[in-house]
């Protein structure tokens, strides 16, 4: 494919994202940007940089570290923080496990993805955050398609899909009662392709695992899982070397790889245009049940 | 590449979800795994064909009821355009969702079942396109396959719709009638073979050709200030930039501008889009404006070009749609939010309610209930800088916030 034929990023999405970032800074006392090291949260950091230039980003980044991260993601995170001068807060799922607030899952599908909700809610309480900016997109999953840009959560971080505030024109109402907080999604209207196009046009750096590389994997449920010490395997699951890339950067225990030789953004975009599998289809945690996402969101998951 | 925002409305069984699913499917916006998932689900339901409506029907509660209950956002794109559909329910209890979904739309798709013609809900849907002054309306007469693709049936429904308008057409609103079958993909992404008598555009062709930019830049220049950027850093010790999204019109470096409410005048020094100075900022663009003079200007204030002054009003007449279960009564206080400007407001009078089933006006209303639309008078503690909605919809709407619950309880347009 000729690279000149790649789709153009619709700039209105950036205008909207910057607008939302500024509304957050203006309407809330203690906002925070939830940073996972993934491409969506990297996009958020870029939007925040643009929204407040030449000032600094007026809120910290919060990383909930499951302890099962790809080392490349952590390396990337620290580099980005150095370059942008943003403040970084890290809270660890391991601490929630050690303090007995959550229990580690067992079995071959054991993951810390669900546990991180508890650590997140604790961090919100610890720092009294009233607004948490996240990189969720409505195209990711059916339950997300209905979520507002400003999504009010109660004391327990719960979301009630039947009691959402209407959002009219571009007016955002972030007024809340004590104890409530608001989840904010500036890239709600972006698709996976939009994010990749933005990364390409803005020349944003992303963790190396998004690009094709050789890695030890095992095959399970017709997917390629990254082999690591964190993954519980059966004797039949023999790791082998494969050229792969990741479409999302979740935990090493719940993020499947796709076989790919795309080692540049352009190649990735071309693969998405011919996509055979949707992004969240590579998230093992979503497969647990058809209504998995909605259930987890009601409980406070991002 | 630009974005076109579409609001869809239809009755429960008009086949709206199928139409949207069809648009997604035929523009290759559905990934293989999602397609396989709905194939499996269709087989489970014992259907002969793949039910494309399953692409958009999401929440658990919906699956129980078999209907859509909230605003869902759906995306598809062509090489020219990114489309955002706000899919809103057709049944009466959820008028608030429909207004929410349609408030930013440039196009509304109204679905009519070819077997049934105009129904009560058609009146409501069309009324909302008028209330919100949506510039383009596509009336899709669906399920043409069930009326043998009959031209007569199409013509008679079109005439029925024109009768419904009864001369109430908005001069700036364009209405197009398209006969379709979502189930079989007739007139969706290609011209229908079954309906060769129809000479108009098929739905996707219609959407691809809508020009919505024209005109927006000619509206009066309005820049509501969102945030003041003062880095006080070594590199930018004196920088004072006014951040916002241009509501309407155009701003250029060198423009003479007036700040509301201080009424102080200055000249635009620079306009920045991130670190790059730009020549101009157009409607919809997020920008930072610096001025030549130190003037009084902060969040909630408005910058306008000197040639296009805005009204600073404390008494206004509005048409309102009520969104809360507790009805609106005269004498109550709310927080009124117009753009970024929040002021205390009192609803001084209710003048009438519009019966959107038949467009009758009921004078002397005591209260305006959930999902009702009515006329009200409002007095604000401080001025807002608004245009009449009919003149400039980008600066003529507001929301009402209940200070007890903090909920958004009403949406109004200035008349």
* Residue B68: pLDDT band with limits 50, 70, 90: very low
* Residue B34: pLDDT band with limits 50, 70, 90: confident
Tell me: pLDDT of B59 over 50: no
pLDDT of residue B215: 63
* Rounded mean pLDDT, B331-356: 96
CB of A160 within 8 Å of a chain B CB? The answer is no
* Rounded mean pLDDT, B91-107: 81
Between CA B3 and CA B8, with CA B6 as vertex, the angle to 5 degrees is: 160
- B229, β-bridge pairs: B241
Tell me: pLDDT of B61 over 90: no
A51 to B243: CB separation less than 8 angstroms, yes or no: yes
B70 to A51: CB separation less than 8 angstroms, yes or no: no
Fold (topology level) of B217-305: Elongation Factor Tu (Ef-tu); domain 3 (2.40.30)
CB B403 within 8 A of CB B333: yes
pLDDT of residue A97: 86
Please, where in chain A does CATH 3.40.50.620 lie? 3-195+291-298
- Separation of alpha carbons A241 and A216, rounded Å: 4
Query: Following DSSP, what letter does each residue of A116-145 receive, concatenated?
Result: HHHHHHHHHHHHT-SEEE----GGG-GGGG
| Percent of chain B topping pLDDT 90 | 70
The two structure tokens encoding residue B350: 């209710």
pLDDT digits (tens, 9 = 90+) for B194-245: 999 999 999 999 999 998 775 677 899 999 999 999 999 999 999 999 999 9
Q: Which residues of A touch B85 (CB under 8 A)?
A: none
* Rounded mean pLDDT, A34-45: 95
* Rounded mean pLDDT, A227-248: 88
* Residue B133: pLDDT band with limits 50, 70, 90: very high
Tell me: pLDDT of A245 over 60: yes
pLDDT of residue B100: 85
Tell me: pLDDT of A290 over 60: no
Q: Which residues of A touch B2 (CB under 8 A)?
A: 10, 12
For chain B, the first-to-last Cα distance in angstroms comes to 34
Q: Which residues of A touch B68 (CB under 8 A)?
A: none
In this predicted structure, which of A128-137, B274-283, B354-363 has the lowest mean pLDDT?
Answer: B354-363
Tell me: pLDDT of A289 over 50: no
* Residue A275: pLDDT band with limits 50, 70, 90: low
**Which alpha helices (H) appear in A164-212, and where do they start and end?**
192-202
> What phi and psi, each to the nearest 5 degrees, are found at residue A5?
-90, 0
**Which alpha helices (H) appear in B45-94, and where do they start and end?**
60-65
In this predicted structure, which of B36-40, B65-69, B86-90 has the lowest mean pLDDT?
Answer: B65-69
A169 in the Ramachandran plot: left (φ > 0), alpha (ψ -120 to 50) or beta?
Answer: left
CB of A14 within 8 Å of a chain B CB? The answer is yes
Residue B173 CB contacts under 8 Å (≥ 6 apart), including other chains:
B129, B130, B133, B134, B135, B136, B137
Q: In chain A, where do the E strands start and end?
A: 31-34, 61-65, 88-92, 131-133, 150-153, 181-184, 213-220, 223-226, 240-246, 257-259
The larger pLDDT score, comparing residue A164 to residue A217, is at A217
A171 to B399: CB separation less than 8 angstroms, yes or no: yes
Q: Tell me which of A59, A146, A282 to substitute to probe the interface with B (most B C-beta atoms closer than 10 Å).
A: A146
* Residue A4: pLDDT band with limits 50, 70, 90: low
B397 to A171: CB separation less than 8 angstroms, yes or no: yes
- Chain B, nearest residue to A293 by Cα: B59
CATH 3.40.50.620 fits A3-195+291-298, yes or no: yes
How many pairs of residues across A and B have Cβ atoms under 8 Å apart?
158
* Residue A142: pLDDT band with limits 50, 70, 90: low
Q: How does the average pLDDT of chain B come out, rounded?
A: 90
The larger pLDDT score, comparing residue B378 to residue A257, is at B378
Fold (topology level) of B2-212: Rossmann fold (3.40.50)
pLDDT of residue A138: 86
B217-305 and B311-414, same CATH topology: yes
Reported for B268-277, long-range contacts at CB under 8 A and 24+ positions apart, including other chains, are B268/B292, B272/A53, B272/B241, B274/A49, B274/A50, B274/A53, B275/A53, B275/A54, B277/B253
The larger pLDDT score, comparing residue A145 to residue A171, is at A171
| Shortest Cα distance, chain A CAs vs residue B221, angstroms | 17
Q: How does the average pLDDT of chain A come out, rounded?
A: 85
Q: Which residues of B touch A177 (CB under 8 A)?
A: 406
The residue ranges of every structural domain in chain B are 2-212, 217-305, 311-414
* Rounded mean pLDDT, B377-395: 97
Residues 94-153 of A with CB under 8 A from B: 138-139, 142-143, 145-146
Q: Which residues of B touch A146 (CB under 8 A)?
A: 58-59, 70-73
| Shortest Cα distance, chain B CAs vs residue A273, angstroms | 9
Q: Model ipTM?
A: 0.93
| Shortest Cα distance, chain A CAs vs residue B403, angstroms | 9
Fold (topology level) of B311-414: Elongation Factor Tu (Ef-tu); domain 3 (2.40.30)
| Shortest Cα distance, chain B CAs vs residue A12, angstroms | 7
Q: Which residues of B touch A49 (CB under 8 A)?
A: 274
pLDDT of residue B69: 53
Tell me: pLDDT of B148 over 80: yes
* Rounded mean pLDDT, A268-290: 60
* Rounded mean pLDDT, B3-10: 89
pLDDT of residue A5: 61
Tell me: pLDDT of B392 over 70: yes
pLDDT of residue B14: 76
A15 to B69: CB separation less than 8 angstroms, yes or no: no
């Amino acid at each position: 494919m000729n690279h000149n034929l790649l789709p153009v990023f619709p700039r209105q999405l950036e205008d909207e994202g910057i607008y939302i970032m500024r509304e957050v800074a203006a309407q809330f006392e203690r906002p925070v940007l939830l940073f996972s090291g993934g491409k969506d949260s990297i996009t958020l950091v870029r939007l925040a940089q643009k929204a407040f230039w030449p000032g600094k980003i007026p809120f910290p980044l919060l990383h909930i570290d499951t302890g099962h991260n790809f080392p490349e993601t952590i390396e990337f995170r620290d580099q980005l923080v150095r370059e942008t001068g943003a403040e970084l807060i890290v809270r660890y799922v391991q601490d929630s496990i050690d303090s007995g607030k959550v229990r580690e899952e067992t079995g071959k599908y054991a993951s810390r993805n669900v546990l991180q909700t508890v650590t997140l809610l604790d961090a919100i309480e610890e720092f009294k955050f009233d607004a948490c900016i996240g990189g969720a997109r409505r195209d990711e999953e059916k339950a997300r398609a209905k979520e507002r840009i400003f999504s009010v959560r109660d004391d327990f971080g719960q979301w009630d899909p039947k009691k959402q505030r209407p959002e009219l024109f571009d007016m955002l109402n972030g007024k809340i009662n004590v104890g409530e907080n608001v989840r904010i999604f500036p890239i709600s209207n972006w698709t996976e392709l939009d994010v990749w196009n933005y990364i390409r046009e803005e020349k944003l750096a992303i963790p190396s695992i998004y690009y094709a590389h050789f890695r030890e994997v095992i095959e399970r449920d017709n997917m390629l899982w990254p082999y690591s010490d964190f993954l519980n395997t059966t004797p039949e699951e023999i790791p082998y070397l494969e050229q792969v890339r990741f479409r999302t950067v979740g935990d090493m225990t719940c993020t499947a790889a796709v076989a790919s030789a795309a080692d540049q953004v352009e190649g990735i975009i071309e693969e998405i245009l011919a996509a055979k599998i949707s992004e969240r289809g590579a998230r093992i945690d979503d497969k647990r049940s058809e209504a998995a996402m909605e259930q987890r969101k009601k409980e406070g998951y991002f | 590449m630009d974005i076109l925002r579409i609001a869809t409305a239809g009755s429960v069984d008009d086949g709206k979800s199928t139409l949207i699913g069809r648009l997604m499917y035929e523009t290759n916006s559905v990934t293989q795994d999602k397609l396989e998932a709905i194939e499996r689900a269709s087989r489970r339901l014992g259907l002969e064909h793949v039910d494309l409506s399953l692409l958009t029907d999401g929440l658990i509660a919906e699956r129980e009821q078999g209907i859509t209950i909230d605003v869902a956002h759906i995306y598809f794109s062509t090489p020219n355009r990114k489309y955002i559909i706000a899919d809103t329910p057709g049944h009466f209890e959820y008028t608030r969702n429909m207004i929410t979904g349609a408030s930013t739309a440039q196009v509304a798709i109204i679905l009519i079942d070819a077997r049934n013609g105009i129904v009560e809900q058609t009146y409501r849907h069309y009324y909302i396109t008028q209330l919100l002054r949506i510039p383009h309306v596509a009336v899709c007469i669906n399920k043409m396959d069930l009326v043998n693709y009959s031209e007569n049936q199409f013509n008679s429904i079109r005439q029925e719709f024109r009768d419904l308008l009864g001369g109430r057409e908005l001069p700036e609103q364009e209405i197009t009638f398209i006969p379709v079958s979502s189930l079989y993909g007739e007139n969706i992404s290609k011209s229908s073979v079954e309906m060769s008598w129809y000479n108009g555009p098929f739905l996707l062709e219609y959407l691809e050709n809508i020009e919505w930019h024209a005109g927006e830049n000619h509206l009066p220049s309005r820049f509501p200030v969102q945030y003041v950027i003062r880095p006080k850093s070594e590199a930018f010790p004196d920088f004072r930039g006014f951040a916002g999204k241009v509501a309407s019109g155009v701003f250029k470096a060198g423009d003479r501008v007036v700040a509301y409410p201080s009424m102080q005048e200055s000249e635009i020094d620079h306009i920045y889009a991130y670190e790059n100075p730009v020549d101009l900022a157009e409607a919809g663009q997020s920008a930072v404006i610096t001025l030549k003079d130190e003037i009084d200007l902060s969040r909630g204030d408005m910058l306008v070009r000197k040639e296009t002054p805005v009204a600073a009003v404390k008494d206004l007449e509005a048409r309102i749609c009520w969104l809360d279960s507790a009805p609106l009564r005269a004498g109550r206080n709310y927080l009124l939010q117009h753009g970024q400007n929040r002021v205390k407001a009192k609803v001084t009078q209710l003048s009438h309610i519009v019966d959107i089933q038949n467009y009758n006006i009921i004078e002397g209303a005591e209260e305006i209930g959930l999902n009702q639309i009515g006329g009200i008078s409002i007095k604000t503690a401080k001025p807002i800088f608004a245009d009449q909605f009919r003149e400039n919809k980008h600066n003529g709407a507001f929301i009402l916030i209940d200070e007890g619950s903090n909920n958004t309880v009403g949406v109004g347009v200035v008349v």
